[in-house]
């Protein structure tokens, strides 16, 4: 009886050890998760700006633009700074409702300049720097 009890304890320890080893493999080998950074379209104080105007992210991260104040807003990427990506990254549709949002995931390192088409003359422009 005592011998069988010890055998079950050893077996239980071996199973737990094996499970711990397998689970630690998944924790160590899981890829880093991508981050999402938010940019407000229109500052809280009513200024026609992107807030923040410049963000730095890593390749694979996502930027979310959120309609905040003084709509309508959109995001158009400058062809002069990113000619091959400007059209596909841009969101030309105007957002009218506070809280409306859209996202862009950046896979290529570089500097991407953008502006709000209706408020470009007011200086509503920004930059995404992808490392």
Report, as residue numbers or ranges, the catalytic residues: 73, 116, 119, 124
Whole-number Å distance between alpha carbons of 113 and 83: 11
Q: Check if the beta carbon of residue 89 is closer than 8 Å to that of residue 104.
A: yes
Residue for token pair 């400007």: 86
- Asked, as a colleague might, if the bond just before 72 is cis with ω within 30 of 0, I would say yes
């Amino acid at each position: 009886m005592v011998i069988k009890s010890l055998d079950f304890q050893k077996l239980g320890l071996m199973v737990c050890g094996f499970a711990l080893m397998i689970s630690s493999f998944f924790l160590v080998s899981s890829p880093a998760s991508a981050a999402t950074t938010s940019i407000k379209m229109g500052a809280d104080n009513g200024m026609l700006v992107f807030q923040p105007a410049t963000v730095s992210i890593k390749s694979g991260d996502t930027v979310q633009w959120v309609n905040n104040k003084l709509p309508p807003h959109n995001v158009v990427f400058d062809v002069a700074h990113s000619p091959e990506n400007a059209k596909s990254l841009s969101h030309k549709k105007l957002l009218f409702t506070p809280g409306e949002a859209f996202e862009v995931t950046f896979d290529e390192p570089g500097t991407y300049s953008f502006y709000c088409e209706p408020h470009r003359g007011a200086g509503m422009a920004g930059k995404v720097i992808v490392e």
